[in-house]
Amino acid sequence: MGNMKKFFILSLLIFIIPLKSFSLIEVDITRGNLNPLPLAVSPLSIDDNSRKNFKRILDKENIGIAISLIVENNLKTTGLFNPLNKDAFLQAPDIANLKPRFEDWNLIKAQALITGKVDYVDEKLRVEFRLWDVLAAKEMMALAFTTVPNNWRRVGHIISDKVYERLTGEKGYFDTRIIYVAEEGPKTKRIKKLAIMDQDGANNKFLTLGNELVLTPRFNPTSQMVTYLSYFRNLPRVYLLDIETGMQEVVGDFPGMTFAPRFSPDGKKIIMSFAKDGNSDIYTMDLENRIVEKITNHPSIDTSPSYSPDGKFICFNSDRSGYQQIYVMNSDGSKVKRISFGNGIYGTPVWSPRGDLIAFTKLHKGKFYIGVMRTDGSGERLLTENFYQEAPSWSPNGRVLIFYRETKTDADGKGFSAKLWSIDLTGYNERKIKTPTDGSDPSWSSLLSN
Amino acid sequence: MPEDNVKKVEKKKDDTQNPEKIDNEVKQVSEFEKEELFDPNNIASLIDKSKEEAASTIKKTDSVTQDKMKNLENTGLSLSEEDALKAQIFGCWSIPLGLPYDENLLVRIKLELKPDGSVVKSEILDHARMNMPGQGFYKVLAESALRAVKLCQPLRVPTTGYERWKDLQLNFDASEMLKG
């Protein structure tokens, strides 16, 4: 009995003591400001000899400043960071990289600081950079890269990715490229070429001559391969293009209307819709053995298929309910389920690389919207509204969408344009992407380096 | 479009979080509180009223415990005091917008404060989560919360009753804001 009592007391103590000793005042902080984080990007320091060598090779007056500007621009476009004006910086770049005077950076309200150094070593570019937490007065990250001098822009993008990941907790999307359809000429007689550029609009290159119509280029999520649709003797033809080598390959000719070929997440198949016997269904093609498999079998029009990142599901459009809506099914075509139920019609669903959302275009009362919903159709959010816009494509981290927007033609048939735009998931950070010509149908690559 | 791959040649230094140091701080605080507020033996005696020999101990410790109990009963800040503190921290906390909004986004920070509201010590209570694989977002959120505390200090604390609030816990929860 005595033992029982002791046991009882001990048990009580176990529960009572922690309760009392942790009776702290607790205050719940459930709100904060959504202002971009103030951050200072100090120019990367460079010695005189290295500066002269890079000027000779790259024709850049100061490569350290040029790289830091790329980092600054990338971080600014995210809407998550506010790079501070360099005129306010009190500490010289070389000293700041060795040991920042945190009180100086604190004074200009910087919460994070990026410093670095560029060297010319054995005809290569060596860049080191550090990320500092100004308020905690500590180094958060330090890395160094060596590469050929011509890769200097990529170094800027890689630094941006590393900083972004360290400060946001998710991967960046700066060391990536965008393939799109470059357009020129009047609306009724457009010349369309495949074009590729860095995600910030630099290094634009045309990949086709514009003799034939090209449509819907899509990146392979695992490599730098692209699939797209072109017309050969008025027949739709699906192509594969290796961006690295420039090699092009015909995957196949398909009858009737063929739409939007897209890779599976492992890059081994393409999925598309085409019309056979007057009915449009979804098909896959194994790129190794070229076997075509029918996935949907319904008298309605099924188009725009897109795989979930794990390859287990497919989202697509169908008008089987009377109006075009978004559906999700297993990758073998079973268990088809409608997920969009809002007013209007829905199209171009694209599964986020993060797996949590599906982006879409919506037409309602004459306006076009780009929006996102969860994969079960709940939580629909419209991010942007315009006269005409469509074809969203995800950044590799599933945070930003790129799409294209057309302007209205005036009474004289003039004023038409098509431009690429991006918007992030908050819906506030909308930006026009600079391209040398008009552009449509953009597709975002995966990260070039990991 | 051949491009030479950029080679990551060296990782100069990992992030400089120092879990050992903070763990020690947790221990110190816990021990301090345990010692000052409760003596397990005395409380055992307090509960076990049938023990004759413990009666004196009960009397001895009773007054101390009662005082503490009084304090514990009055620990909460008044609504206006709490609102003032919250409003101050809301302005200092830059919520990292890149966080996934469907994750558990609660960071609990325990503070030891000076009478003027400046921070003597701050510790993340779920510190182990900081360095867990796949919890990068938690680390980012925790760092943002620590930055907010540093940026805000001295905190807007009541002018009286220092003993009440010298230890304070802030629960930073970003989920509401990120869900929009």
C-alpha pair distances (Å), A26 with each of A70, A210, B77, B165: 43, 65, 9, 10
A90 contact B CB<8A:
no
Residues of B in contact with A246 (CB under 8 A): 1
C-alpha pair distances (Å), B152 with each of A27, A277, B148: 15, 69, 6
Tell which of B61, B122, B143 to mutate to test the A interface (max A CBs under 10 Å).
B143
Same domain, A223 and A344: yes
Q: What is the pLDDT of residue A38?
A: 94
Q: How far apart are CA A69 and CA A2, in angstroms?
A: 76
Closest residue in chain B to residue A79, using alpha carbons only: B97
Q: What is the pLDDT of residue A3?
A: 61
Same domain, A269 and A215: yes
Residue A433 inside a domain? The answer is yes
Q: How far apart are CA B143 and CA B138, in angstroms?
A: 8
Same domain, B94 and B43: no
Are B72 and A23 an interchain contact pair (Cβ–Cβ within 8 Å)? yes
* A278 has a pLDDT exceeding 90: no
Per-position b or e across A121-153, b if 16+ CB within 10 A of its CB = eeeebbbbbbbbbbbbeebbbbbbbbbebebbb
* B5 has a pLDDT exceeding 60: no
Point out which residues pair with A405 in neighbouring strands: A389, A419
* Lowest-pLDDT range of A10-24, A193-207, A320-334, B58-72: B58-72
B73 contact A CB<8A:
no
% of chain A residues with pLDDT over 90: 75
Same domain, B63 and B111: no
* B31 has a pLDDT exceeding 70: no
Range of the domain at B59: 20-73
% of chain A residues with pLDDT over 70: 94
Token output for A144: 């160094």
* A18 has a pLDDT exceeding 70: no
Q: How far apart are CA A404 and CA A386, in angstroms?
A: 11
Closest residue in chain A to residue B173, using alpha carbons only: A30
Residue A267 inside a domain? The answer is yes
Same domain, A322 and A375: yes
Residues of B in contact with A13 (CB under 8 A): 40, 43-44
A90: how many CB neighbours lie within 10 A of its CB? Answer: 11
Q: What is the pLDDT of residue A274?
A: 85
Same domain, B100 and B167: yes
Residues of B in contact with A158 (CB under 8 A): 6
Mean pLDDT (whole number) for A382-406: 95
Residue A63 inside a domain? The answer is yes
Question: Which residue from B160, B174, B5 is spatially nearest to B99, judged by alpha carbons?
Answer: B174
Sign of CA dihedral A108, A110, A111, A116: negative
Residue A104 inside a domain? The answer is yes
CB interface of A with B, residues 385-404, below 8 Å:
399
Range of the domain at A131: 37-168
* A245 has a pLDDT exceeding 60: yes
Q: Strand, coil or helix: what is B51?
A: coil
pLDDT in tens, A217-226: 999 988 789 9
Residue B23 near residue B127, CB atoms below 8 Å: yes
Q: Strand, coil or helix: what is A328?
A: strand
**How buried is A54 (Cβ within 10 angstroms: 0-12 exposed, 13-18 middle, 19+ buried)?**
buried
* B43 has a pLDDT exceeding 50: no
Residue A267 near residue A221, CB atoms below 8 Å: yes
Same domain, B114 and B63: no
A258-263: strand order across its sheet: A258-263, A269-276, A279-286, A292-294
Residue A5 inside a domain? The answer is no
Point out which residues pair with A114 in neighbouring strands: A41, A131
Length of chain B: 180
Domain boundary among A136, A168, A200: A168
Same domain, B32 and B106: no
Backbone torsions φ then ψ of B22, nearest 5 degrees: -70, -35
Domain boundary among A117, A135, A168: A168
Q: How far apart are CA A104 and CA A91, in angstroms?
A: 7
Q: How far apart are CA A389 and CA A383, in angstroms?
A: 12
Enter the ipTM: 0.73
